[in-house]
Amino acid sequence: MTLETQLKQKKYYEMFINEHETIHPIQVLGEAFQEEAQKDLPDLSYIRFAQGEVYFHHKDYETAIFKWENIVNELEQWAKKNTADAYYELGMLSTAEDLYSAIETEDLTLKTEVALQLFSLYLERGKLEAAVAIIKRTINSNPDYPNVTEIARAFFEEQRDWNNAVELAVNEAKRTESLEWFEILHTYVENSVTKNFDASYFSHALSILFNLDKKSFEQLVSSLWISYQDEESYFVWLREINHLLLNLNLDRNENYQELSKRHKETYFTFIDGRYFINQLQDIIPDLLTNWHRLADNANSVLASAAVLSWNELFPASISQAIVSEAEKLISITETDMDELDECLSLFDSILNWAQEHDMGENNRVKWLAQQLVDFDTQHILLAGFKGSGKSSFINTVLGAELQDGSTSSVVLFKDAEEMTITEITDREINDLNGLEEFKEKMDRRRNALESIIELKRPMPFFKDNKVAFLDTPGLTGSLHYDRYEVLKNLQIADTILFVVDANASFTDKEWAALGQIQEIAPDIPIHFLISKMETIPNEQEAHKIYDDIKAMVNSYLHDAKVFAFSTQYEQNQQMKELKVFIQSIKNTRNLADKRLAKLLYFIRTTIASLLQKRIDVENQLIESIRWNEEMLIKLTGAVNQLNDAEIQRTKSAIKSYRAIKESIETEISVAVPKMLRECSSLIKEDSDFSKIHLMLNDEMNNRLQDYLEQKVMPKYYSSLQDWIERSHGEFKENQEFLIEMRDGFNQMYGEERLELECDFRVLDDWRRDTDRMTTRFQLETVNILLRRTPSQFILKSAGKLLGAISQNKAMLFNKYQSFIENEDYSEAIAAVNKQFFQPFEMFEKSLERDVTLFFKGPKAILNRSVEEARSEIQKKKEMQDKMNENPEMFRDPLTLFDVRLRQFEWMTVAGKGMQTIY
């Protein structure tokens, strides 16, 4: 046992035992102590150190401390450490910590032992930060010390201190180049505790592992790749790992299946429409380069196609050596890829993206794709000029008059067990209700070309021959119109059957149409059907026409076949011959490859149409904003006009009502004084002047009651009815104005959106209220002669005092009569007017509210329309700003879909030497 080991294990005392193993160490050391003490210059430190160890082992810690406190030789620092150990065992942790911390030594072993003791002490005292610091310092200074890294790893894992645990694993993996530490690191990665580390942190360790064990390297890289996928640092990781891979000597023959899979999945995720090109431009070239270097046999063609398609979009972004190698590899390597499935997957990705971005359902192109994957049915497209006899031919083949004349729509006739008729547009798919609705669709002119109609029913001829007819609108000779139609429908066809009229020779327009078809679809064979042969007067002439047309056709199209058709020819024989003809023109060679090329064509046209839709959407936004701004101005003007009309109508109604009221008030003011003065005739010389004032007051009130009820009220009622009728006329004028306004706006909207109906119930309320308030009037007694005015007081007092004396009656008669005839009565007039008009006060006050109610509906609708226009402008401007700020949000996904399409074409159409359809 070495001295260092003895000191660590506190077994230094064994040096003094030697042959005295049967004697207790205390006795041996005691005798040695006594022997040494007898010397002239005794050195007792070594023996004391050994004694302290023995006492420590026997748990006599205080005696051990006493012994170690007097060590002054080279074992002094070990003695201090042992003293601290004793205090530790005694539970005096603070003292132990101070002693450990005070030890100064260059002895690496002692320094490490002290550090490990401090580490344990810190753990016991709960000083975790200090424990972390001391163990990391210990590893840095003496990582090879036995078990120190294992102790640190166990501590970090127990504390779930994954950052330090990962750091330890990475540092030890690099230092020791031990696969064990790489395996530990791999475990951390799989447990998702490495995500906080920058991707570059692992690069050096990975490069070491690559040279140690390539399989372990691949597994660790793959796990790190997966761990970073959903993190913000994912792109940093991809740059880092691909930079590392570029600098490693990769050999495809070493079969990096997992890494190839990671590259493949990442690349296809990037080009599925979720990312912008500026995010990918500096990542994908290295990604594809490495994938091409790593790809196993199953993916080498796919990786090569990816390299070539990306290089087409961004020339020189990938090294020419890799591009050349990819071209060579793709031309000599077979692939067992399910081409149709991959193509449809791409198609679905594009259409799903379009739907998610509000670019429509694209039902029409979906339907076209479905027809192309129906390999049991060949599609024969019927083309020909208007009046060529296509419809008669179809009706004869179908055995039913399904078409009365030239169609304006594209129709697919297909065999099925039951009849269904479906109209397919980009936006929707509708089932038609029977043949009548089908024929209506055939006769329409507007928007006819926006849809395809699929008619399925039992059709024996189609079933036997496994064909379907695609009938198209008759050609017109207009290059733009015809080319548009051909482009839309031609690529679904496997064969084209061009119908010509037996009575008309080929015209320049027909040859031009055929030239268009060949230009657009050079791989689709064209054959000819001569219709209306029944109109040729004799058989010899019919043969001549047939021979002439056949010779003319074959001079232009050498392989084209010609069939003469007559609606009057013996039916069974004609259909037998037609069947032979149809079988002869069916294009079965390489059908699957040709259908695949057509699918790729529809993918390309779909991408192009979506790009155009983006432009259309932008233009529509501009137009919508302009239109809504104009509407906002007009609607705001309409609201202002309606407000002015409401104010004017309110003033007019109140003014005319008050004029009636004032007229009645004036009439009462004139009639009442006269009526009251006439009551003087009721006074006689023999009247009872003590009570005459009471009699007169009652009579005056009675006359007022009769006057107001019999004369004034009827007149007032009549005036109010006339006023209501006049108001009705004025309200009608307002309504007519609003109707004109409504019609104007609805014409601009293109729909019956506004309904500006005023509330004429206001007039009914007026009639009801005026009827109720003028039905009966009861005047409450007006105090005319019973007031306490000086003149009335004197007159009444005189009547009571002098009325009983006959000589005085003549005087009282004259006084009363003079009083009645000359009284002012203004207070009485005011009281009468107040009572008469009091029931109408609330009516008058509510006139303004009633007029407002009359206009309330139109006003609310116009105000709502104003807000809708403002909201629409705001919404469209926000959409426009969004599109202008991020044009790549729309353009980039479609560009990446185009890359994916080109990649697929490299693997299929181009790889087989077929011509790509554009």
Least confident of 296-310, 369-383, 585-599, 697-711: 585-599
Helices (H) and strands (E) in the chain — how many of each?
38, 9
Closest CA to 119 of 77, 172, 90, 159: 159
Predicted confidence (pLDDT) at residue 273 exceeds the cutoff of 70 = yes
The 10s digit of each residue's pLDDT in 437-449 is 887 777 765 555 6
Predicted confidence (pLDDT) at residue 145 exceeds the cutoff of 60 = yes
Predicted confidence (pLDDT) at residue 639 exceeds the cutoff of 50 = yes
Contact criterion met (CB below 8 Å) for 358 and 889: no
Q: How far apart are CA 631 and CA 749, in angstroms?
A: 9
Interval 394-420 mean pLDDT: 82
Interval 380-400 mean pLDDT: 86
The 8-class DSSP code of residue 757 comes to: -
pLDDT at 497: 93
pLDDT at 615: 81
Residues, the chain: 918
Predicted confidence (pLDDT) at residue 396 exceeds the cutoff of 90 = no
Structure tokens at 526: 């064209």
Structure tokens at 367: 């339907």
Identity of residue 418: E
Give the three-class secondary structure for 503: coil
Closest CA to 847 of 647, 685, 690, 669: 647
Closest CA to 59 of 88, 96, 86: 86
Interval 320-344 mean pLDDT: 82
Predicted confidence (pLDDT) at residue 364 exceeds the cutoff of 80 = yes
Interval 517-533 mean pLDDT: 88
Query: C-alpha dihedral over 368, 371, 372, 376, to 10 degrees?
Result: -170
Least confident of 92-106, 301-315, 771-785, 789-803: 789-803
Q: How far apart are CA 841 and CA 663, in angstroms?
A: 16
DSSP sequence for 9-64: HT-GGGGGTTT-TTS-HHHHHHHHHHHHHTSSS---HHHHHHHHHHHHHTT-HHHH
Predicted confidence (pLDDT) at residue 792 exceeds the cutoff of 60 = no
Predicted confidence (pLDDT) at residue 794 exceeds the cutoff of 80 = no
Least confident of 32-41, 284-293, 477-486, 577-586: 477-486
Identity of residue 104: E
Q: How far apart are CA 708 and CA 104, in angstroms?
A: 127
| Backbone φ/ψ region at 471: left (φ over 0), alpha (ψ -120 to 50), beta | beta
The 3-state secondary structure of 534-587, one letter per residue: HHCCCHHHHHHHHHHHHHHHHHHCCCCCEEECCCCCCHHHHHHHHHHHHHHHCC
What is the average pLDDT value for the chain, to the nearest integer? 86
Q: How confident is the model at residue 469 (pLDDT cuts 50, 70, 90)?
A: very high
Q: How far apart are CA 681 and CA 37, in angstroms?
A: 167
Percentage, residues of the chain above pLDDT 90: 43
Q: How far apart are CA 614 and CA 506, in angstroms?
A: 42
The 3-state secondary structure of 222-265, one letter per residue: HHHHHHHCCCCCHHHHHHHHHHHHHCCCCCHHHCCHHHHHHHHH
Interval 261-268 mean pLDDT: 92
Residues facing 501 on adjacent strands = 531
Predicted confidence (pLDDT) at residue 802 exceeds the cutoff of 50 = no
pLDDT at 406: 67
pLDDT at 332: 78
Q: How far apart are CA 474 and CA 408, in angstroms?
A: 8
Predicted confidence (pLDDT) at residue 804 exceeds the cutoff of 50 = no
Check residues 193 and 609 and name the one with the higher pLDDT.
Answer: 193
The 8-class DSSP code of residue 454 comes to: E
**Helix (H), strand (E) at residue 3:** helix 3-9
Interval 227-252 mean pLDDT: 92
The 10s digit of each residue's pLDDT in 81-90 is 999 999 999 9
Least confident of 57-66, 261-270, 317-326, 340-349: 340-349
For the chain, the 3-state helix, strand and coil shares in percent, each to the nearest 5, are 70, 5, 25
DSSP strand E in 689-737: where? none
Q: How far apart are CA 897 and CA 275, in angstroms?
A: 11
pTM of the model: 0.65
pLDDT at 79: 92
Structure tokens at 437: 């609705």
